[in-house]
Structures are given as structure tokens and as C-alpha cells.
Amino acid sequence: MHVVIINGSPRVQKYSNTEKIIAAFAKGLSEKGSTFEAYAISNRKTWDMIRDAYLKNDEILIALPLYVECVPGLLLEFLETLPQKDKHTRLSFLLQSGFSEGCQLRCGEAFLEKLPGYLGVRYGGCLVKGDNFAIRFLDEEKQTQITKPYQTMGELFAEGEGFFREEAKKFTGPEYFSLPMRLMIGLIHKTIAKKMLQKVAASLGCSGPLDEKVWETGRIGGK
């Protein structure tokens, strides 16, 4: 199988979590003897090339981050430029988000489920997975480690059944967290996570509180 993978994230590739996920996924494809070509819509100059690849191939995968409950605005703009194709083309999706629970991605997934119909093509399913916000802030070794499960999903995809298999559905993890988990995670977010985020912010040059009401205090980045 030859797969055209399109990174639908508007973030520059270097810092794109989706890009790291694609790398692991594509490794899985290769392991199973499939080939791929990868593109990213963040650079508008490549849009003609991506459209050309979309037209000439029949196995397309769009990997994207969830932006406010649906696809990012830039991806919507790109999608508008795609010509109609027929059912010989299969369009699958890998939808990832920062929020962890599966329930957070279902509204986005529902849009993606109907999208192939608007484009005239066949739906190949949607792999749904949250908890990816921190990937970009990790070192390379940890990034490889954390994205490793996507390699298994690449191997699964190479078997030809899109994301309709039970393993792909289970990959999402819990739909909601149980109450004890919520209490624990809630506590982490009130304490350790806050400190860690403040540290990341400081490394970017921010010295003020992350919840500063800037339009009231007039200070930007704590300055």
C-alpha cells in the first residue's frame, strides 16, 4: 500500500506534535512493507504539490490536531481547494488533541466522518487519541518513546482495513476518567503541573503568572 500522509496542523513542522506522531506512524507503515509520501499544510507554498498528490493517489491519510472541537481553520481553507474525486479514493484521519479523554475528540471526529462524503471519496475511519500537548517540549529520545504506540497503529493501517479494527478503537483510551482518576489528575494540575508549565514558560522568556489578566494589568509576559 502507498499512503499519502498530510499533516493538517497549522503549526510549523519543526514544533508540530502531529509531525512527530506521523513519523512514528509512518515507521509502522514501513515495517509492514507499505510506502508513503508526507506533506504538511503549514507551508502554503506546498499546497499545489499536496493537491497533486491527493489527486494522483487513492490512499490518503490526514493527521491533524483538534482545534476548538473541530479541524483547524487553515485545514478547512485547504480542504476547500480540493477537487471532487470518487469512491476509489479512501480518506482516513488521525485526530489528536491535548486533552486526554476520548470524549473531547468526538465532535471533531463526527465532522471528519462526514467530510469524505462532501469530497466524493470513501471514509477510511478515524484514529482518535488525546494527551499529546507536551510532545514538542520533550527531548528527542522521550518524543520517540511517547509516540511509539503510533507505530503499532501504522502497522495496523498497513493491513488495509483503515481504522475500523477494534485495536484502533481501543487506542483512544478512556472516554472519561473515573472519579478517583479525576481527583488525582486534578490535584496534579493544581500543583506539579502548574510548576512545570511555569518552568516551560520561563524557558520561553515569560516571567509573569500564566493566568495574568493582561488586559487589566497591562503587563505582557510578566513585563
Q: What residues from 2 to 21 belong to the interface with other proteins (CB under 8 A)?
A: 9-12, 15-16
Q: Which runs of E-coded beta strand occur in the chain?
A: 2-7, 35-40, 59-65, 90-96, 122-129
43, 52, 176, 191: which one contacts other proteins (CB under 8 A)? 176
* Minimal distance, residue 65 CB to other proteins, in Å: 7
Q: What residues from 63 to 122 belong to the interface with other proteins (CB under 8 A)?
A: 65, 67-74, 76-77, 79-80, 99-101, 103-104, 107, 110-111, 114-115, 118
Residue 134 interacts with other proteins (CB under 8 A): yes or no? no
49, 55, 192, 220: which one contacts other proteins (CB under 8 A)? 220
Residue 160 interacts with other proteins (CB under 8 A): yes or no? no
Please report, for residues 120, 126, 179, the alpha-carbon distance to residue 117 in angstroms, rounded to integers and kept in the order given. Answer: 5, 14, 39
DSSP annotation of 64 reads: E
Residue 191 interacts with other proteins (CB under 8 A): yes or no? no
Cell for 193?
Answer: 503541573
Contacts of 29 (CB under 8 A, 6+ apart): 1, 3, 35, 36, 154, 155, 157, 158
Q: Which residues bind other proteins (CB under 8 A)?
A: 9-12, 15-16, 42, 65, 67-74, 76-77, 79-80, 99-101, 103-104, 107, 110-111, 114-115, 118, 176-177, 182, 185-186, 189-190, 193-194, 197, 200-201, 204-206, 208-215, 220-221
